[in-house]
């Protein structure tokens, strides 16, 4: 739903070229918020500023997001995982979302609230 609303708003603002990057950012920030506060409220704000669009995602968790260090992988590092589709399976390969957000956004950050936090990303145009 968030991606559809973002796509609609970017088209309305005449910025359809930003859809791909903002979709990826939204997917990562919303997934992190849902993971941080399962079965709880999250909030989304998406606004256009003078030279950028800003996506903000709020969740009630006080835990700050932590970016996994980026490492170079070789083809031999990628192996089949028979349990990959099992519910609750964690193969330890998660945590790449924030580096993706950092790569695509002009700026990004976190603002604490009480309770929770806003995690935001700005994409310049």
Which pLDDT value is given to residue 93?
67
Phi, psi of 43 (to 5 degrees): -130, 145
Which pLDDT value is given to residue 102?
95
**Rounded (5°) CA angle 117-9-53:** 50
Q: Model pTM?
A: 0.84
Give the pLDDT means over successive 10-residue stretches in the chain (125 positions): 96 98 97 89 96 97 86 81 82 78 97 96 98
* CA neighbor of 46 nearest in space, from 99, 1, 10, 14: 10
Which pLDDT value is given to residue 84?
80
Phi, psi of 56 (to 5 degrees): -125, 135
Where would I find the H helices in the chain? 2-12, 19-36, 97-104
Which pLDDT value is given to residue 86?
85
């Amino acid at each position: 739903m968030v991606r559809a609303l973002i796509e609609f708003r970017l088209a309305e603002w005449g910025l359809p070229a930003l859809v791909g990057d903002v979709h990826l950012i939204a997917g990562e920030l919303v997934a992190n918020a849902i993971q941080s506060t399962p079965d709880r409220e999250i909030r989304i704000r998406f606004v256009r500023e003078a030279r950028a669009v800003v996506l903000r995602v709020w969740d009630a968790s006080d835990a700050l997001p932590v970016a996994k260090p980026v490492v170079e992988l070789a083809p031999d590092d990628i192996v089949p995982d028979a349990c990959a589709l099992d519910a609750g399976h964690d193969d330890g390969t998660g945590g790449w979302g924030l580096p993706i957000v950092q790569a695509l956004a002009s700026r990004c950050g976190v603002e604490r609230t009480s309770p929770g936090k806003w995690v935001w990303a700005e994409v310049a145009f």
